[in-house]
Homo-oligomer: A and B are copies of this chain.
Amino acid sequence: MFLIDFKNRKSISDQIVDNVKGLVVSGVLRTDEKMPSVRELAEEITVNPNTVQKAYRILEGQGYIYSSQGRGTFVSDRSQIRVSKEDILESRAIIKDGIDKLYYAGLSREETRRLIEDVIDEREEWT
């Protein structure tokens, strides 16, 4: 499904959350498609089941997936995704932090712009 980078500073559960979000939003995972069970996914990406459990709980809380007692976990319709203003502001803060660090590293405004364009262009599935 995806790979976990164990050397990454990002926590494993966050990596799972973000990977799944990407697959849902980009449409790779289709509405009402069955997600792998906690155990299955945990085994596949060689991670503790509790960690996958935690990620699923977060994803469900934000409306990316839903679970049905005894049947399993499924992909929600994209209209169900809940995004708060705070989420946007947090993403903005993250980006600002990254840009600040480039400034501290001595990059010029133009070099920074180019680097960011580069990042944006990497994402092909964009609307």
Residues of chain A whose beta carbon lies under 8 Å from any beta carbon of chain B: 6-7, 9-12, 18, 21-22, 25, 61, 66, 68-71, 74, 76, 78, 81-84, 86-88, 90-109, 112-113, 115-116, 119-120, 122-123, 126-127
Contact = CB atoms under 8 A, between A and B. Distances in A.
Given A94-B94, A116-B116, A106 B25 contact: yes
B12 A69 contact: yes
B92 A119 contact: yes
Given A98-B98, A112-B120, A103 B82 contact: no
A88 B108 contact: no
Contact of A105 (B68, B76, B87, B126): B87
